[in-house]
């Protein structure tokens, strides 16, 4: 009787494992398809039935996108813009978050500011883009990296502030009290005591910010035309194309997606924490 | 839960303020008490962020509100803005294309959010089941959609849904169905779009709900088991009610993202075929940045904004109420 019970239990958990595995495979399949389309030989892409496990591999499409499409400058743009947005957004955002997390301002002001930041997070970008385009145009910043950097920093700020407030509040007050007693000024306390303590938080925030800026398409496609074009905009030009350049499209897609996924898989535990932060305590 | 949890805890505030107000700390700073100088610096700390947010959110928003009362077609040179009162608003509500797009958007958001919630809850229950140990690889696999570039996702799924070379039709054939032209049929294009949206947002549902489930106290479950409640009863009377705050926030996030969705539909269907998948964000984009009818486009933006804000405030209000009850 006991053995039957045990076997039943094992079958039950086996079923659970199989279902979980199956779910993961389905969820990850499009990514796999992107990767194998990018390394298939050109002639193997358009076959029926489709080839699921490519036996012969070529990196021709990757060579093509650099040599024929010439994406190197746009790749550089993407890197420069995303990285500088990350640095600025994390810096400015954590300063604001520190100030909001501590109690120097009256609580009514803080509630108002936090709600304001939250509201900024909710706006659909499409509702802002038209006036924003006109404004940027009239300032003369169209097709510059600066315009995109400013935009991305601002768009990352609500999220950055939101995450960092939580991290700052986890620091115990006594550490800061000690710092005050030692005669640290506000700046010293922030840069030398508090920031090192929230380093994990900074990393998580930076990753999210990077993903936001790296993947952003709408603003980039409207604010840039050539000089400051980023990779998503280049990929956007494949939309509705009739020439079926699937190999190049997927090579570019893989080039964009792969670094993020590899890096993120190392810190996925923190990422999940960051993702669920607003909704679930801790 | 809640949006303002520890952040605004009065006791903690007082405690911290006491630290700063202690007499010993007042020692002769020439420019007044330490407290007020700290306050000054902390205002300086917020200012850059506020300035940026003002420049990129508040000012464009106000400007777009003003523009929505003007008739302005940027493609007609020498004919600048002309004040036209509520003409734009009246006009768009009489326009079949706009009303159709609103209906499509609501359909899209409602179906995709509800399905991804149910699927997400299912998978969250699966991966939090104590019987199995979910490894890092599986977690990463489930995270993948969220980390991919939306415009790449749009293009990629266009390949996957391709009528001849796409793997989806191949699987359908294997299962005995005939091939289907997914993206060139108005009804199925919407279905395809919803499938992609669900797939893309699924990680958020899964992990938010999983975190919610894991944060539930374990002893009430033991109590329920002792009292002989069935699995279904436990789920219905314990898990769901306890998860309610998390669920509300999650739905809020997902609905907002549904209304915001642009890149994927741009990459996949461009609103086509016809205007079957022309959801509001795409309509605004085409009206404002392809045909440059600025007045109409900004009026549409404000309608979309009001929809989103109404839903947002409704959910916030609702979640505050549940919080009060607990």
- pLDDT tens digits for range B283-297: 999 998 888 888 999
The residue ranges of every structural domain in chain B are 6-49, 87-325
Q: pTM of the predicted model, to two decimals?
A: 0.87
CA atoms within 13 A on the CB side of B167: 16
Question: What is the C-alpha to C-alpha distance for residues B85 and B83, in angstroms, rounded to an integer?
Answer: 6
8 Å CB contact of B132 and A34: no
- Examine the pLDDT at A208 and tell me if it is beyond 60: yes
Do residues B298 and B60 touch, judged by C-beta distance below 8 A?
no
CB of A276 within 8 Å of a chain B CB? The answer is: yes
Q: What are phi and psi of B202, to 5 degrees?
A: -55, -45
**Chain A partners of B204 at a C-beta cutoff of 8 Å?**
275
Do residues B123 and B206 touch, judged by C-beta distance below 8 A?
yes
Query: From the candidates A103, A183, A187, A212, which should be mutated to test the interface with B, based on the most B CB atoms within 10 A?
Result: A103
Q: What are phi and psi of B153, to 5 degrees?
A: -60, -45
pLDDT per residue as tens digits for the range A141-157: 888 999 999 999 999 99
Architecture of domain A69-275: Orthogonal Bundle (1.10)
Q: Which of B4, B61, B140 sits opposite A268 (nearest CB)?
A: B140
Do residues B241 and B129 touch, judged by C-beta distance below 8 A?
no
Q: What are phi and psi of A239, to 5 degrees?
A: -65, 130
Answer yes or no: CATH 1.10.3720.10 is held by domain B87-325. Answer: yes
Mean pLDDT lowest among A101-110, B179-188, B236-245: A101-110
Q: Output the six-digit token pair for A76.
A: 């550089």
pLDDT per residue as tens digits for the range A70-88: 889 999 999 999 999 999 9
The three-point CA angle B238-B317-A129 to 5° equals 120
8 Å CB contact of A276 and B5: no
| CB pairs A-B closer than 8 Å | 325
Q: Which residue from A198, A61, A132 is spatially nearest to B284, judged by alpha carbons? A: A132
* Residue with more model confidence, B15 or A63: A63
SS (HEC) of A52-85: CCCCCCCCHHHHHHHHCCCCHHHHHHHHHHHHHH
Q: Output the six-digit token pair for B190.
A: 């919407």
pLDDT per residue as tens digits for the range B198-246: 999 999 999 999 988 888 888 888 888 888 888 888 888 888 888 888 8
Mean pLDDT, to the nearest integer, of B112-125?
Answer: 94
From the CA of A218, how many Å to the nearest CA of chain B? 7
8 Å CB contact of A264 and B159: no
Query: From the candidates A130, A187, A235, which should be mutated to test the interface with B, based on the most B CB atoms within 10 A?
Result: A130
The residue ranges of every structural domain in chain A are 2-58, 69-275
């Amino acid at each position: 009787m006991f053995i039957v019970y045990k076997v039943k239990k094992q079958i039950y958990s086996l079923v659970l494992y199989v279902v979980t595995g199956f779910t993961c495979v389905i969820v990850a399949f499009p990514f796999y398809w992107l990767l194998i389309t990018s390394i298939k030989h050109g002639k193997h892409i358009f076959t029926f039935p489709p080839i699921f496990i490519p036996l012969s591999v070529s990196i021709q499409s990757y060579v093509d996108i650099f040599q024929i499409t010439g994406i190197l400058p746009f790749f550089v743009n993407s890197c420069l813009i995303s990285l500088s947005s990350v640095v600025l957004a994390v810096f400015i955002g954590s300063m604001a978050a520190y100030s909001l997390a501590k109690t120097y301002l009256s609580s009514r002001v803080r509630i108002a500011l936090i709600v304001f930041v939250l509201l900024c997070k909710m706006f659909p970008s499409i509702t802002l883009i038209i006036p924003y385009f006109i404004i940027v145009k009239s300032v003369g910043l169209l097709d510059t990296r600066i315009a995109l950097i400013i935009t991305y920093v601002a768009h990352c700020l609500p999220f950055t502030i939101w995450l960092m407030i939580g991290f700052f509040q986890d620091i115990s007050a006594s550490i800061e009290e000690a710092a005050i007693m030692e005669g640290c000024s506000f700046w010293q306390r922030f840069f030398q005591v508090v920031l090192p303590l929230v380093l994990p938080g900074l990393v998580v925030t930076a990753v999210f910010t990077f993903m936001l800026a790296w993947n952003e398409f709408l603003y980039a496609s409207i604010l840039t035309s050539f000089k400051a074009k980023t990779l998503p905009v280049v990929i956007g030009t494949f939309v509705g194309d009739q020439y079926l350049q699937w190999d190049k499209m997927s090579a570019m897609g893989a080039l964009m997606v792969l670094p993020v996924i590899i890096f993120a898989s190392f810190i996925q535990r923190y990422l999940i924490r960051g993702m669920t932060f607003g909704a679930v305590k801790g | 839960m809640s949006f303002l949890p520890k952040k605004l805890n009065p006791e903690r505030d007082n405690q911290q303020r006491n630290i700063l107000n202690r007499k010993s700390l007042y020692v002769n700073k020439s420019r007044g008490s330490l407290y007020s100088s700290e306050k000054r610096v902390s205002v300086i700390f917020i200012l850059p962020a506020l300035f940026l947010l003002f420049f990129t959110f508040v000012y464009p928003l106000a400007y777009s509100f003003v523009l929505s009362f003007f008739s302005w077609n940027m493609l007609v040179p020498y004919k600048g803005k002309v004040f036209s009162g509520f003409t734009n608003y009246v006009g768009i509500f009489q326009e079949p294309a706009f009303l159709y797009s609103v209906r499509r958007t609501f359909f899209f958001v409602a179906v995709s959010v509800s399905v991804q919630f149910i699927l997400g809850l299912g998978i969250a229950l699966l991966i939090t089941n104590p019987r199995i140990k979910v490894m890092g690889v599986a977690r990463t696999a489930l995270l993948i959609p969220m980390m991919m570039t939306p415009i790449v996702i749009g293009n990629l799924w266009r390949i996957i849904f391709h009528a001849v070379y796409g793997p989806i039709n191949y699987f359908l054939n294997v299962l005995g169905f005939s091939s289907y032209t997914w993206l060139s049929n108005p009804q199925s294009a919407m279905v395809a779009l919803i499938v992609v949206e669900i797939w893309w947002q699924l990680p958020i549902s899964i992990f938010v709900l999983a975190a919610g489930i894991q944060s539930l106290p374990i002893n009430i479950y033991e109590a329920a088991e002792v009292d002989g409640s069935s699995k279904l009863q436990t789920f219905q009377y314990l898990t769901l009610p306890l998860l309610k705050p998390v669920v509300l926030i999650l739905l809020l996030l997902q609905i907002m993202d549904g209304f915001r969705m642009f890149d994927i539909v741009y990459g996949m269907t461009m609103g086509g075929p016809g205007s079957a998948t022309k959801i509001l964000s795409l309509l605004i984009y085409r009206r404002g940045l392809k045909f440059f009818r600025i007045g109409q486009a900004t009026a549409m933006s404000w309608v979309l904004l009001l929809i989103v804000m109404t839903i947002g405030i409704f959910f916030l209000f609702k979640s505050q109420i549940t919080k009060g009850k607990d």
